A and B are shown apart, each in its own frame.
Chain A
């Protein structure tokens, strides 16, 4: 068999060829007499890629300062010592420290007018993930899990949703599948660049397969003794896990095939490796990837702290855009950069900034977003919104529009209450113009 390139291999897995499509294609090709097997695969692959939309969320946990990122106010009291730099798009300025991102500005839309009411971390993180306010009685699915449910094929080897660098412990509320159930629960990766925990078998592969065979046969008795349903659902999950463990796609987690130049471009940081892994996962057919970067809660030493964070985030973000473009994945992959809220324009006595949900910013790129523009505007000192306010549901509707997901679709919660993917809101039309 001729060596199939890695790239083709992964594109094919995103939407598994249906049997019918395959047969139809074969006979049509045979009739035409012009196509060989690989041509057919490539034709299908292009078609499949068309549908294969994906999203990468870069979540800045703690609440990034809008004034030190994409809405600087140089020369004002609130703006502090931060200066602004020009970008590839004339007229658009962002804060110093984001030089790499500035070079990609033609592909990036800045949203300066996000506005919300919640200024408490956990509640706001929950809201920026689910679109809903937390409630003890219902666990809302994250938008990412909703998207995966809408877009991701049922038969897949890799998980539909992957979350990178996001501690599994308490405090990560809102990023789970909620009432959508285990099929869409995010798969957590702690150390990007290495195989995730428990994916490598504890014994050699042939013994692992042998064990699976024994397990399968030993399940039979319990099934006969009344455990039928339990055995059946357990088998489904065991199969899925085994598929992942044995899948050649696990090499997605291994960076050894990436050139040194590519790896370097993302930066030698945890977050940089997370972004590189995000690209590899999307390429392998994963629908939603979140990469988190923490420590944005800059109540003190805001300016130095953000500089340090920008040094990690800026190259990774810019490299991700460039890399996706180069691989032809950019148009189908939406990148969203945001945090749970912004920070006070007023600088506190410890040269910090406090929580500020009233106006904060986000970046959107790829996925059909029109780059090189700024949406929304804040007053000269940054203390109020002066143009085009965008609520969290508006942002979510815009994401849905980019990914071709119907935000008004309802899923049933366990108590039989239908919940829309996004409750209210309107897409920001300017993003797509």
Chain B
């Protein structure tokens, strides 16, 4: 089947892997019963539950996918990269019956696993951001998240870190969700619930949820965990800080509350007055210029360009609006300009209340605890559903972020088995990946989804479009371009500045190809600008050349005088498989018609790069 002479390496590989697997299988045997369930066990259970349900409904599952399809699929899913032609060949030749489990372990050990999923989470958090300046910390967030994922920190701990974060957003990128929603309590509540619990409550912001059980006050009780979060702008270097504000006039109002101390703290020349310069350099962030202007305009009554104690004390109080308060008020819909009704924090899932008048730290610690509690079924279900959907192309619940008590899951027992195993395994995402990827359900062939609305999924795998980052990685690999040499990220970052990340080729590619990963896969079809880019971009012109012997294609053509060999290499490179007889026939016919080998091969390579298969998981 595969015509590459890589047998020797393949065998060595098989021997090593075989040994590793025997050892781990032995360990498994010893600890069974007492320790949390193993991934393989749960995978088998999930398979059985799904199979039984399918059979009950008269749906016949398709076969297992072949090795080339599997190794491409699992490498893309776990690491966001294509397997190299060599990886595909070795894997196909490997006689070890457990080779699929082995390759899953190898991929989970690769640092690319964390990087790939960190980019996924970057998109989940930032794509729906209402505060775009949050992106200033997105590179740091990727590094932070990749590290959490690669070191297998529990998902409960990661979510806790994200809900309780404070500090400079670049030094503490776990602030991502808070800054992405502009530190606004209702927005944070809506997004945290949607992303981490899969429950969409934002409709209940203004009225009781029309199609769900959530009441308006329940939404606002959730928001009441977050009213004490503030964004502060830092001047040099430009950044933002997520701060806790626990005093009612605390938003920059230390000045009005403690005028004497405020002067002594800032009065560098001890003349009893504060000049603009003294205030401008005020730590940590200095005052925004508009604010300074306003204070001097209002306060400097003797117009000497400085503020003395009397002038400071006579400054008018700022408007008491809902926004500046340390408690959450539910707006009165009949009188939107009034302060509204004070709402105390209360967790809608179990009705627990953390207490009254708590500090920001206490409130957020309480909400993190409630979110990640093993008694909260939605926390584990939401992440299991999300990951499963990313691997299989469809979730138990659809869309991935709309679960909740009134939504019906397909195969509810299967998702609960995965969720229970995940909790028992300390919310370890690697365990979850292992369980999903080792299941027979994941390893089925792709097939078109049934068009019937109530048709059960998972009798086959749904082919879906690759995420923007994954397409970018694939292009870099296939064209043999090094991301660094393509002008970034290091090159772009070295130029510095708060928006340096925007100059990286990856970012610019993402602008064109990025999609919010919470969007159902069915809805992601690509668009005209993406297709124009792939068809016509100048940036590939050199890399696609077959005459240049430094390109991947140039090398293939030089090393393979035989057209069929060269064709196999091109297919392995771009699509990670050998061409079918039918495809060989088409291409050979094309070569003959064009009559110019290099040119025809460039066209074949172009066609494969523009094919739906290259852009899809199969």
Contact = CB atoms under 8 A, between A and B. Distances in A.
A181 interface: yes
A230 B527 contact: no
A135 B194 CA distance: 12
A90 interface: no
A227 to B, nearest CB: 5
A234 B615 contact: yes
Interface in A197-239: 197-202, 207-208, 210-211, 214-215, 217-222, 225-231, 233-238
Nearest to B593: A210
B181 A136 contact: yes
B383 to A, nearest CB: 18
Interface in A97-156: 122-123, 134-139
B536 A218 contact: no
B132 A171 contact: yes
Contacts of A226: 445-448, 460, 463, 618
Interface string A29-44: 0000000000000000
B194 A136 contact: yes
Contacts of B203: 417
Residue in B511, B538, B613 with the greatest tally of chain A CB atoms within 10 Å: B613
A234 B210 CA distance: 36
B211 interface: yes
Given A170-B132, A170-B502, A182-B528, A136 B191 contact: yes
Interface stretch (B79-87, B488-496, B579-587): B579-587
Contacts of B302: none
B203 to A, nearest CB: 7
A240 interface: yes
A169 B526 CA distance: 18
13 contacts: A198-B533, A198-B535, A214-B590, A215-B610, A215-B611, A219-B612, A221-B583, A227-B616, A234-B612, A238-B535, A244-B532, A348-B294, A348-B297
Contacts of A201: 535-536
B468 to A, nearest CB: 13
B541 A230 contact: no
A428 B597 CA distance: 67
A323 to B, nearest CB: 28
B576 to A, nearest CB: 13
B449 interface: yes
Contacts of A241: 528, 531-532, 535
Given A227-B613, A234-B525, A349-B297, A202 B463 contact: no
B510 to A, nearest CB: 10
A424 to B, nearest CB: 12
Given A168-B512, A198-B535, A137 B610 contact: no
A236 B528 CA distance: 10
A122 B540 CA distance: 35
Interface in B53-87: none
A415 interface: yes
Given A159-B528, A230-B463, A299 B523 contact: no
A91 interface: no
Given A182-B525, A233-B525, A245-B532, A136 B129 contact: yes
Interface string A179-197: 0011001011000000001
Nearest to B603: A211
Given A135-B187, A198-B532, A237-B527, A225 B446 contact: yes
Interface in B581-618: 582-583, 586-587, 590, 594, 599, 603-604, 606-608, 610-613, 615-616, 618
Contacts of B512: 168
Contacts of B465: 230
A299 B448 CA distance: 56
A231 B614 CA distance: 11
Given A198-B536, A211-B603, A187 B528 contact: yes
A139 B463 contact: no
Interface in B449-485: 449, 460, 463-465
A231 B613 CA distance: 8
A7 interface: no
Given A170-B502, A198-B532, A210-B603, A122 B132 contact: yes
B130 interface: yes
Given A135-B202, A234-B525, A219 B611 contact: yes
Nearest to A183: B527
A197 B533 CA distance: 8
B553 to A, nearest CB: 14
Contacts of B618: 222, 225-227
A354 B290 contact: yes
A137 B202 contact: yes
Nearest to A196: B532
Contacts of B607: 211, 214-215, 218
B257 interface: no
Q: How large is the interface on A (under 10, 10 to 19, 20 to 34, 35 or more residues)?
A: 35 or more
Contact of A169 (B446, B502, B535, B606): B502
Contact of A199 (B532, B582, B586, B612): B532
Contacts of A218: 583, 586-587, 604, 607-608, 611
A244 B528 contact: yes
Contacts of A299: 289-290
A21 interface: no
Nearest to A234: B612
Contacts of B603: 207, 210-211, 214
Given A122-B132, A134-B130, A136-B129, A414 B532 contact: no
A416 interface: yes
A63 interface: no
B538 A221 contact: no
Nearest to A243: B528
Contacts of B604: 214, 218
B354 interface: no
Interface string A239-256: 011101100000000000
B487 interface: no
A317 to B, nearest CB: 28
A75 B587 CA distance: 78
A173 interface: yes
A414 B519 contact: yes
Interface string B504-537: 0000000110001001100101111111110111
Contacts of B445: 225-226
B332 interface: no
Nearest to B447: A226
A414 B463 contact: no
B194 A137 contact: yes
A350 interface: yes
B511 A168 contact: yes
Nearest to A299: B290
A83 B613 CA distance: 64
Contacts of A354: 290
Given A122-B132, A227-B616, 11 more contacts: A170-B132, A201-B535, A214-B586, A215-B610, A218-B608, A221-B582, A225-B618, A226-B448, A237-B526, A242-B535, A244-B532
Interface in B425-452: 445-449
